[in-house]
Amino acid sequence: MTVGLFVTCLVDLTRPTVGFATVKLLRDAGCKVSVPKAQTCCGQPAYNSGDNPDARAIAEKVIKAFEGFDYVVAPSGSCAGMIRHHYPSLFAADPEMASRATALAGRTFELVSFLADVLKVENLEAAYDGTATYHDSCSSLREMGVKEQPRALLAQVKGMTLTEAPESETCCGFGGLFCVKYPDISGHMVDAKVDDIMATGADTLLAGDLGCLMNIAGRLHRRGSKIRVRHIAEVLAGMTEGPPLGEPAEKGKRLKEAG
Partner 1 sequence: MESTTAAFRENAAKALGDAKLRDALSKLADGFPARRREAMARLPEFEALRDAARDIKDHVLANLDFYLEAFEARVVEAGGTVHWCRTAAEARTAILRICKLAGAKTVTKGKSMIGEEIAINEHLEEHGIEPVETDLGEYIIQLRHEPPSHIIAPAIHLSKEQVADTFREKHRHLSPGRSLDEPRALLDEARNELRQKFIGADVGLTGANMLIAETGSIVLVTNEGNADLTYSLPRVHIVIASLEKVVPTLEDATTILRVLARSATGQEMSVYTTFCTGPKREGDLDGPEAFHVVLLDNGRTEMLGGDFHEMLRCIRCGACLNHCPIYKAIGGHAYGWVYSGPMGAVLIPGLIGLEEAGHLPNASTLCGKCEDVCPVRIPLPRMLRTWRQRQFEKRLTSSVSRSGLKFWSHLARRPWLYRLVADIAVATLAVLGRSRGRFRRLPLAGGWTKLRDLPAPEEGGTFISRYHRAGHGDGA
Among the listed ranges 50-58, 105-113, 114-122, 201-209, the one in contact with partner 1 (CB under 8 A) is 50-58
Q: Hey, how many other C-beta atoms are within 10 angstroms of the C-beta on 128? A: 21
Check: CB of residue 6 under 8 Å from CB of residue 73.
yes
Distance of closest approach, residue 97 Cβ to partner 1, in angstroms:
15
Does 185 engage in binding with partner 1 (CB under 8 A)? Answer: yes
In sequence order, what are the residues at sequence separation of 6 or more whose Cβ sits closer than 8 angstroms to the Cβ of residue 189? 171, 172, 173
User: What values do phi and psi take at 55, rounded to 5?
Assistant: -60, -40
Element housing 160 (H / E): strand 158-162
CA atoms within 13 A on the CB side of 2: 9
Stretch of 40-48, 116-124, 126-134, 146-154 contacting partner 1, by CB under 8 A:
40-48
Q: Which amino acid is located at 129 in the chain? A: D
Q: Which is nearer to partner 1, 45 or 130 (CB)?
A: 45
Map the footprint of partner 1 across residues 67-106, applying CB under 8 A. 68
Cβ proximity to partner 1: between 147 and 156 the closer is 147
Nearer to partner 1, 158 or 223 (CB): 223
257 touching partner 1, by CB under 8 A: yes
Looking at the Cβ atoms of 51 and 117, the one nearer to partner 1 is: 51
**Residue number with CB closer to partner 1 (127 or 177):** 177
24/38 Cα distance (integer angstroms): 21
List, in sequence order, every residue forming a beta bridge with 127; answer none if it has no partner. Answer: 158
Site for partner 1 in 150-169 (CB under 8 A): 169
Nearest to 94 by CA among 53, 43, 62: 53
Q: Which of 41, 97, 154, 233 binds partner 1 (CB under 8 A)?
A: 41
Query: Which residue of 165, 214, 232, 236 would you call a contact of partner 1, by CB under 8 A?
Result: 214
